[in-house]
Structure 1
């Protein structure tokens, strides 16, 4: 019995925070642009489009396991960059400081999950390739 559906499910859940955010920004561009302005990202239109493309394309590459290393890598870099831009807990006062610190810890954990996805994709490809070699 093939378990490939389980891989698709896992990769879809892993990327949920990215593709759901990308779709929300795509369907409500005013809110997406306001978010870019809120964080001081200028020009906001450029950052808006780059964000939507990164979130949606990166998620799709991971979910489909096609160039998953590139999609997961882009999402990992994106997630890491949000820390100093949107979650700079070190410059905040309590209780927001502690809440944002926990968000940063979750972001780091998600980056770890994306690294595992890259590793798992590479292992699947090596095993798939080696099973096609003549014995």
Structure 2
């Protein structure tokens, strides 16, 4: 009887995760933070430049342009499932680099140290998700 329950439950789940639209939706949701940020920095370019300058990234204009390109192109590659390994890799490296450049919790006082530590943990988890996407896209 347990196998009947498992089978009746797994058929709709298998149909869902096997569907093309679900793959697109999953990749859109996974990359939302990147393409949302990239569009924001593109639409409010001066705001993006100010953000780069705030973190000491100079020349701020060049860093903003590089960030926009990395976030938008990397997201597009993952969403479209074309050269997914490259898009996921670029977003993963980008995310890893933000840790020592922006989220250096080890230099902060409490309560900011703990808040930034949790941001870093989320970044590491996101990198793991991008690694899974690259692995499964082969």
Q: Does the pair score TM above 0.5?
A: yes
Cα distance in structure 2, aligned partners of 1:116 and 1:38: 33
Structure 1 length-normalised TM:
0.88
1:1-135, aligned counterparts within 5 Å? 3-122=19-138
Whose Rg is larger? 2
Structure 1: where are the runs of 5+ without partners? 123-135
Structure 2: where are the runs of 5+ without partners? 1-14
Cα distance in structure 2, aligned partners of 1:81 and 1:105: 14
Q: Deviations over 1:63-106 (max 9, x none)?
A: 00000000000000000000011100000000000000000000
Aligned-residue offset at 1:45: 1.1
Number of residue-to-residue matches in the alignment:
122
Local SS of the residue matching 1:15? helix
Q: CA-atom RMSD, angstroms?
A: 0.9
Cα distance in structure 1, aligned partners of 2:57 and 2:105: 18
Q: Which runs of 4+ in 1 moved over 2 A?
A: none
Structure 2 length-normalised TM:
0.87
- Structure 2 counterpart of 1:128: none
Local SS of the residue matching 2:137? helix
